[in-house]
A = this chain, B = another copy of it.
């Protein structure tokens, strides 16, 4: 094993250079302005995997952004009977805004104090390259350049805008995607020295809700007090989303929420989660649904956030206008027992029942993602625990995650596959925020751990 780890140590500078090149491509999937860059990023990865790793790689089209697809043949692996791994990651990134808060431009990666700074540094380009570099190291150090087991890579380009086309892609490619276990690298470590295996993710539903009123913007002096102002009424509706116990105020909303079991509560208590440290890092204090701890609210309870709100005059100074419409981005995170389609209907029904004078809703769904939970007795977990223990020197934490990786539910529902969620991010990496970054030590830890995990799988029999 030490030849593998030595190789990774000695070649890490080059690995970081390759990561920086990838990070310099602004593959923002949600904004059509970047459409061409998303394609460039996909092509860049295919070239790198084909020419550099010598594996079959291609872009597969979807109605949206393409999927980077890689699949080993029997000639590529030493043990074709070992469990086949379906690796999932994404090469698209969040928008860079607010750009003026970045200390260096979002798409001009720089290394500072042992961290690489750029949009996507952690989420998910940094983590994807952990796996690619693991493959490179395995090929470079193993007999005949063979990988220890079959791997299929699905690196999508629409994770940050809801993975709209990936479910159909999976359905259309069930044969190509045959595997025994999924490996997903888009999550966080428990803390700076303790990797985690995440066994449950919350689901997501996301809406753009607009309230339309007068046929044009109006002078607020001439019309003020005579008609319903969409900004005023939208605020009132959104202000009604929570009751005085900070519970979501939608009838029936909690009907499907399973209580957090005593066993799970005890297990989470043992993690010694420090809510003041977690929130103090962003100058915030705990706030939310009464009677639950911060960790419980984050992992086991639904949440609702207005992710954005807009309407009327948003520039500098004053403009005395009554806007013709106002809108908001509203999303819900839901724990594993909730159905996002049912929840979406509860929300839109609730909106349509709110008193809004003569204003009219325009509701647009930006997609739903199912929550997911992987059984803790899955046979693939033990090799992962051992790989982490071997590299990090300690057992991983077994955790849930408040965030959403929609595709994990699709892998389960369509392919019948459980997923191992092993990531090397930290909450402090500022993903989705200005100055996103990724520690190079964790990048290297990721490469070593994933390479070791594939080695461990090669020693298993197929389940």
Contact = CB atoms under 8 A, between A and B. Distances in A.
B282 A308 contact: no
A287 B226 contact: yes
**Number of chain A interface residues as a range:** 35 or more
Interface in A427-452: 427, 430-435
A145 interface: no
A161 B32 CA distance: 35
A279 to B, nearest CB: 6
Contact of A30 (B275, B319, B435): B319
A192 to B, nearest CB: 16
A219 B403 contact: yes
Interface string A207-251: 010000111111111111111110110111111111000000000
A317 interface: yes
A169 interface: no
B402 A223 contact: yes
Interface stretch (A18-26, A126-134, A298-306): A298-306
Nearest to A313: B308
A383 interface: no
A220 B305 contact: yes
Contacts of A216: 101, 282, 430, 433-435
Contact of A331 (B202, B318, B433): B318
Contact of A358 (B32, B204, B285, B434): B285
Interface stretch (A92-100, A113-121, A257-265): A92-100
B225 A288 contact: yes
A328 interface: yes
Interface string A397-417: 000011110000000000000
Contact of A298 (B226, B237, B284, B310): B226
Contacts of A226: 275, 278-279, 284, 286-288, 294, 297-298, 303, 402
Contacts of A227: 279, 282, 284-288
A318 B313 contact: no
B314 A308 contact: yes
A326 interface: yes
A333 interface: yes
B317 A366 contact: yes
A62 interface: no
A307 B323 contact: yes
Interface string A181-224: 00000001000000000000010101010000111111111111
Contacts of A312: 306-309, 329
A320 B309 contact: no
Contacts of A218: 282, 432-433
Interface of A: 30-32, 94-95, 97-98, 101, 160-162, 188, 202, 204, 206, 208, 213-229, 231-232, 234-242, 275, 278-279, 282-289, 294, 297-298, 301-323, 326, 328-329, 331, 333, 357-358, 366-367, 401-404, 427, 430-435
Given A223-B402, A308-B311, 5 more contacts: A30-B318, A221-B401, A225-B302, A236-B239, A287-B357
23 contacts: A101-B216, A202-B221, A204-B320, A216-B282, A216-B433, A216-B435, A217-B432, A217-B433, A217-B434, A219-B433, A220-B303, A222-B427, A223-B298, A224-B304, A226-B279, A229-B306, A231-B307, A231-B309, A285-B358, A308-B321, A312-B329, A319-B329, A319-B432
The 3 A-B residue pairs with the shortest CB-CB distance, nearest first, are A221-B403, A239-B239, A225-B303
